[in-house]
Amino acid sequence: MAKIIVVTSGKGGVGKTTTAASFATGLAMRGNKTIVIDFDVGLRNLDLIMGCERRVVFDFINVIQGEANLKQAMIRDKRVENLYILAASQTRDKDALALEGVERTLNKLAEDFDYIVCDSPAGIETGAIMAMYFADEALVVTNPEVSSVRDSDRVLGMLSSKTKRAKEGADPVKEHLVVTRYAANRVGKGEMLSLSDINDILGIPLLGVIPESETVLNASNSGMPVALENNADAGHAYLDMVARFLGENRPMRFTEAKKGFLDRLMGR
Amino acid sequence: MGWLDVFRSEKKGSAQHAKERLQLVVAHRRSGHDDQPAYFPQLQQDLLAVLRKYVQVGDDAVQMEIEREGDLEVLELNITLPDSKH
């Protein structure tokens, strides 16, 4: 039986799709059969981040509406074994997603996969609720910035009231905090919320910290999940995050400012 | 403290300010007040205005709660009248 994980945030532009792509890639690299699904109907982007935009023939909506079967719509990643992508539709509107159709598709996938990663759209409307509804666990992606933290809190409220687990009174969705675009040097200067600040405010366990990095933009330019970038802090941070998710104990990295020559001289 | 600390700014970072503001808004949401319908504050003011045509009441005389059970929503109104003098 597959585990369903939603990658969500409320606010847009915080790194949901980047995180979903790298998280799914990392899970697959560790030998887990994984599919990542784009729930952002009308504004699809996961295919671009995963570099398979030219291979999309059928999408998630086609499957839900019976116009294609799953085998036709799933795109197998060419770089990582065990990794599949299900793109969102670009032409339909978000009302094309219906709970019952989503459930049918997820149940079918669950027979065959270890992990189903749902990349949520921004906002708190239908699409976001669909993406989280069937989740067992949630990655709440947050930037160290006031509007993102507040929106994450709002999403935590939805996870505990609008999901299937909440409605059926089952064990709650397991929540994980993922802090992205973390600039340790600015935190050191007191200009940016620190990990412990965010933790104090949101009160959910931290799964990973992804440092602010030029690699993320470069990787997206070429359709490469950051987790596949061997020489980048952000890539390593994503792989660490996956390892922690799978139960390994790995200390957080990239959380201290790099010390420059002047800092050393001044004994900072 | 190193001798070069004199050159460092003593100003408290803006992050502390951000944290304090966020703790307030998050506490507010988690207390459930964010779950109220948007018309709630106005309805409360209107009810107070009607009441005041007949009795003198304070600003906190009208307490309102929404209770949700499944598809059912119950609006609970609690109006406290001042002690009447016979």
Question: Residue B12: which of A150, A187, A190 has the nearest Cβ?
Answer: A190
Q: What are phi and psi of A206, to 5 degrees?
A: -85, 125
Report all structural domains of chain B as residue ranges with CATH numbers, in order of start.
19-78 (3.30.1070.10)
Residue B84 reports pLDDT greater than 50? yes
Residue B15 reports pLDDT greater than 70? yes
Q: Say if residues A141 and A19 touch (Cβ distance below 8 Å).
A: yes
What is the arrangement of strands in the sheet containing A115-119, beginning at the earlier edge strand?
A: A75-76, A83-86, A34-38, A115-119, A3-8, A137-142, A174-182, A206-211
Other C-beta atoms lying within 10 Å of the C-beta of residue B50? 9
Mean pLDDT of chain B: 79
Residues of A with CB under 8 A from a CB of B: 145-146, 149-150, 153-154, 157, 187, 189-194, 197, 200-202, 266-268
Q: What is the pLDDT of residue A268?
A: 56
Q: What is the pLDDT of residue B10?
A: 47
Other C-beta atoms lying within 10 Å of the C-beta of residue A77? 22
Q: Is A205 exposed, middle or buried (0-12, 13-18, 19+ CB in 10 A)?
A: exposed
pLDDT in tens, B34-54: 667 778 888 888 999 999 999
Report all structural domains of chain A as residue ranges with CATH numbers, in order of start.
1-264 (3.40.50.300)
Q: Say if residues A208 and A244 touch (Cβ distance below 8 Å).
A: yes
Mean pLDDT by 10 residues, chain A (268 residues): 94 95 97 96 92 93 92 95 93 78 95 97 91 97 94 94 92 96 92 93 95 92 92 94 96 81 64
Q: Cβ contact (<8 Å) for A189 and B13?
A: yes
Contacts of A251 (CB under 8 A, 6+ apart): none
- pTM summary value: 0.82
